[in-house]
Amino acid sequence: MNIARTVKVSLRALSRNKMRSFLTALGIIIGVGAVIAMVSIGQGARLEVEVRFESMGTNLLFVRPGSRSYMGRSGGGGSYTNLTEADANAILENCDAVKFISPNVNGRAQVIYQNKNWNTSIYGVGEKYPEIRNWDVETGSFFTESQIRSAQKVAVLGSEVSQNLFEGADPIGQVIRVNKIPFRVLGVLESKGESGGFFNRDDMIAIPYTTAQKRLLGIDHIQSIDVSAVSAPRTDEAMRQIEEALRIRHKIAPGAEDDFNVRDMSDIAESASEATQILTILLGGIASISLLVGGIGIMNIMLVSVTERIREIGIRMSVGAREKDILLQFLTEAIVLSVLGGFLGIVLGIGSSRLISHFANMKTLVSIGAIALAFLFSGSVGIFFGFYPARKASKLDPIEALRYE
Amino acid sequence: MENNVLIQMEDVNRTYKVGETQVRALREFSHSIQKGELLAIMGPSGSGKSTLMNIIGCLDKPTSGKYFLEGQEVPKLNKNQLARIRNKKIGFVFQNFNLLARTTALENTELPLLYSDIPAKKTRELALKALAQVGLEGRELHKTNQLSGGEMQRVAIARALVNNPSLLLADEPTGNLDTKTGNEIMAVVEKLNRENNITVILVTHDPEVAEIARKTIFLRDGLIEKVQVNGE
């Protein structure tokens, strides 16, 4: 008996018991649907994280001082105070894969406007900060190179700070006090939204790094350098050039360790998307259990079905069906059930992930990979759980089977 | 062996083990059956009729002895080869019809062809022909639950002869039918034997049914009690 005939015979047998066939497949339908929906939630979360990091700029690099150890006691990353403005300028001049740099110093301060005050992060940055961070000025303007050189007391507000101090009034041209020092407001940055957790990226004030060094922090080194590469594919090249330039400037002997670190955004993005990957695996794993239970349901019904159809098996054997034919028929029935169930499950999965993203306001992403995997898995569930009942059917003795009441 | 011998059985034994005891269902059975014969096997229950039927029908193998069907030594064949012989050479008709439930007469008749190498295009044609032979034209698409007992047995006969077998084995074919319908069925069987020269072996305990046979074997306790040739 060829495959087409076997499938035909199986379909006939299944259609004789439509309701039971549907209920049998229901386990697989729900299982596959759940796997696809769950994985789509995980993938959606991952995509969202990736998009967020992308919005920060994919060609972004960070230079931070290395860890200093004194008499065997390590001060941890960033404990060196050996990064200077000159280092930043050297990077810009000597590395042709580098487009912009921004020397950074950070601190926190109490900010006052009239009778309101707010405690926030003070970012001392260079004039290219908005370009590097892909962060536009919503109203007003950013400070210029000359304002930095002359360490002017000007500030650009994050939208959260602007909202808290001015409550919708126009802050441009107003004077705020940062640690009692008056600063003139030049502009407001566009809102970036919360990046997850309690950290709000809009809760900050950007001022010239020179001003921050002299007026607020009283230091003459810089804490980090933001660098943007010419293009995303050239970030690796930029990283190498920065390392080379800084090693020369810091007079580090060949073979000795760097006293600084260069990181790119992809390192950070990777670890974040790894976390969402774990979420995907977890959700998918839980859903797979329901698929497994669905498979056991198929086996259960197929076993019942074999017992119920012993007479039919006997008849088929008496007219010349071989063991192999019976085995294939029952196996095909199980596979047809699970594959059809798989198809319906895919539809259910896509449908429910649409509903989830619509009503729960969660981003979902139905990937072809998840569909293919769920489908393959449901097919193998059919083979795996269909085999035992099918084998049992094929091993029946025709005489006994014909006599079975 | 002569060319017109269909079945040749020599010293066939069939022993079952029931718990500790051995049950000798068939003992030293020897007989030969010619092509085109219409033979009846009679005997009380437990006499070995069914065992003999199962062995002749290649559903079972003898414990010892020789059985040739068209010159082929059946006990030496494996399960797949037995299935092939059942498919090609033997048609079964049972007391309780043994049709597939909720399935049309046509699909039931096609069943043996599904397990043969006859191309799918021809199966329908052959099944329709067989159904016509048993007088079921116009009822081909009726499901088994829409058919009367007599009609169901006709479908069973059509299924038995659709593969053009050399041997028709009928096990109490009228057992579940009333006398009139039973006679009609027997007429169909008799006609197939006469016109198509199909060898028929009838198992029955009804002497009236056995009357249409030209020869009757009486079995008792697994042994041949007597062989009676009718009409002589």
Q: Could you say which of A228, A244, A261 is where a domain stops?
A: A228
Q: Which residue has the higher pLDDT, A344 or A382?
A: A344
Examine residue A87 and state whether it is found in any structural domain, yes or no. no
Angle between helices B105-114 and A3-15 (to 10 degrees): 150
A321–chain B Cβ distance below 8 A for any pair: yes
Buried b (16+ CB within 10 A) or exposed e, B61-89: bbbebebbbbeeebbebeeeebbbbbbbb
Q: Could you say which of A202, A228, A254 is where a domain stops?
A: A228
Other beta carbons within 10 angstroms of residue A84's beta carbon come to 15
Q: A275 and A220 in one domain?
A: no
- On whether the CB atoms of residues A127 and A143 are closer than 8 A, the answer is yes
> How many residues appear in chain B?
232
Of the pLDDT bands very low, low, confident and very high (cuts 50, 70, 90), residue A1 is low
Q: Phi and psi for B209 in degrees, rounded to 5?
A: -65, -40
Across the interface, of B83, B101, B107, the residue whose CB is closest to A320 is B83
Q: Distance between CA atoms of B54 and A206, rounded to whole angstroms?
A: 97
User: Does residue B20 come out as left (phi exceeding 0), alpha (psi in the -120 to 50 range) or beta?
Assistant: alpha
pLDDT value of residue A42 = 85
A314 to chain B: nearest residue by CA? B98
Instruction: Please name every residue paired with A229 in a beta bridge, in sequence order, or none if there are none.
Output: A98
Structure tokens at B146: 């829409």
pLDDT value of residue A279 = 83
Averaged pLDDT for residues A58-69:
78
Sole residue written with tokens 């962060």: A135
Buried b (16+ CB within 10 A) or exposed e, B191-218: ebbeeeebbbbbbbebeebbebbebbbb
In percent, the amount of chain A with pLDDT more than 70 equals 94
- Each residue's pLDDT tens digit, A165-174: 998 889 999 9
**β-pairing, B21-34 with A224-229?**
unpaired
Compute CA distances B184 → A67, A191, B96, B200, whole Å: 105, 94, 17, 16
End-to-end CA distance of chain A: 28
pLDDT value of residue A72 = 61
Examine residue A324 and state whether it is found in any structural domain, yes or no. yes
Per-residue pLDDT at B158 exceeds 90: yes
What's at A297, amino acid-wise? G
**β-pairing, B5-18 with B64-69?**
antiparallel
Q: Distance between CA atoms of A107 and A125, rounded to whole angstroms?
A: 12
Per-residue pLDDT at A195 exceeds 70: no
Other beta carbons within 10 angstroms of residue A244's beta carbon come to 12
Q: A399 and A280 in one domain?
A: yes
Please name the helix (run of DSSP H) or strand (run of DSSP E) that holds residue A182, with its range, or none: strand A181-189
pLDDT value of residue A366 = 85
Examine residue A127 and state whether it is found in any structural domain, yes or no. yes
SS3 assignment, position A263: strand
Q: For testing the chain A interface, which of B100, B106, B118, B169 should be mutated: the one with the most A CBs within 10 Å?
A: B100
Whether B92 sits inside 8 A of A320 (CB atoms) is no
pLDDT value of residue A69 = 59
Across the interface, of A315, A323, A324, the residue whose CB is closest to B100 is A315
A8 to chain B: nearest residue by CA? B114
pLDDT value of residue A73 = 64
Per-residue pLDDT at A310 exceeds 50: yes
pTM of the model: 0.69
Mean pLDDT is lowest, of B55-64, B72-81, B123-132, B206-215, for B206-215
pLDDT value of residue B40 = 94
Per-residue pLDDT at A133 exceeds 80: yes
SS3 assignment, position A101: strand
Averaged pLDDT for residues B159-166:
93
Q: Distance between CA atoms of A360 and A353, rounded to whole angstroms?
A: 10
Q: For testing the chain B interface, which of A15, A316, A318 should be mutated: the one with the most B CBs within 10 Å?
A: A318
Examine residue A84 and state whether it is found in any structural domain, yes or no. no
Q: Distance between CA atoms of A81 and A79, rounded to whole angstroms?
A: 6
Q: Phi and psi for B31 in degrees, rounded to 5?
A: -170, 155
Q: Distance between CA atoms of A18 and A12, rounded to whole angstroms?
A: 10
Per-residue pLDDT at A193 exceeds 80: no
**β-pairing, A116-125 with A98-113?**
antiparallel
- Each residue's pLDDT tens digit, B87-102: 999 999 999 999 998 8
- Each residue's pLDDT tens digit, A323-339: 999 999 999 988 888 88
Q: A346 and A290 in one domain?
A: yes
Per-residue pLDDT at B31 exceeds 60: yes
Compute CA distances A235 → A53, A58, A98, A131, whole Å: 15, 9, 8, 16
A6 to chain B: nearest residue by CA? B114
Residue span of the structural domain in which A136 resides: 101-228
- Each residue's pLDDT tens digit, A348-357: 999 999 998 8
A150–chain B Cβ distance below 8 A for any pair: no
Whether A1 sits inside 8 A of B114 (CB atoms) is yes
Its ipTM equals 0.93
Query: Beta strands of B20-145 (E only): which ranges?
Result: 21-34, 38-42, 64-69, 72-73, 90-93
Q: A396 and A280 in one domain?
A: yes
| Contacts with A315 from chain B: Cβ below 8 Å | 98-100, 111
Q: Phi and psi for A396 in degrees, rounded to 5?
A: -65, 150
B100 to chain A: nearest residue by CA? A312
Of the pLDDT bands very low, low, confident and very high (cuts 50, 70, 90), residue B159 is very high
What's at A249, amino acid-wise? R
Give the A window 287-316 contacts with B, CB below 8 Å: 311-312, 314-316
Per-residue pLDDT at A77 exceeds 60: no
pLDDT value of residue B188 = 92
**In chain B, domain spans:** 5-229
Of the pLDDT bands very low, low, confident and very high (cuts 50, 70, 90), residue A79 is low
Q: What is the mean pLDDT of chain A?
A: 86
Q: Distance between CA atoms of B127 and B121, rounded to whole angstroms?
A: 11
Does B5-229 carry CATH code 3.40.50.300? yes
- Each residue's pLDDT tens digit, B180-212: 999 999 999 999 999 988 999 999 888 888 888
Query: Measuring CA to CA, which residue among B215, B41, B202, B196 is closest to residue B134?
Result: B196
pLDDT value of residue B127 = 94
In percent, the amount of chain B with pLDDT more than 70 equals 98
A17 to chain B: nearest residue by CA? B102
Q: Distance between CA atoms of A161 and A202, rounded to whole angstroms?
A: 7
Per-residue pLDDT at A53 exceeds 50: yes
| Contacts with B94 from chain A: Cβ below 8 Å | 402
**Structural domains of chain A, count:** 2
Per-residue pLDDT at B1 exceeds 50: no
Structure tokens at A8: 């035909």
**β-pairing, B38-42 with B199-204?**
parallel
pLDDT value of residue A83 = 87
| Contacts with B57 from chain A: Cβ below 8 Å | 318
pLDDT value of residue B160 = 95
Sole residue written with tokens 């009726």: B142
Q: Could you say which of A228, A261, A287 is where a domain stops?
A: A228
* Number of continuous H segments (helices) and E segments (strands) in chain A: 13, 12
Q: Give CB contacts under 8 A, 24+ apart, made by A95-98.
A: A95/A238, A95/A241, A95/A242, A95/A245, A96/A230, A96/A241, A97/A229, A97/A230, A97/A234, A97/A235, A97/A237, A97/A238, A97/A241, A98/A227, A98/A228, A98/A229, A98/A230, A98/A238, A98/A241, A98/A242
Q: What is the mean pLDDT of chain B?
A: 91
Across the interface, of A319, A323, A399, the residue whose CB is closest to B159 is A319
pLDDT value of residue B183 = 92
- Each residue's pLDDT tens digit, A261-281: 888 877 777 777 788 888 888
Q: A222 and A121 in one domain?
A: yes
What's at B43, amino acid-wise? G
Let me know the angle formed at the C-alpha of A148 by A143 and A153, rounded to the nearest 5 degrees: 75
Structure tokens at A123: 């970012």
Structure tokens at A402: 């014909």
Q: A108 and A39 in one domain?
A: no
- On whether the CB atoms of residues A32 and A348 are closer than 8 A, the answer is yes
Averaged pLDDT for residues A106-115:
91
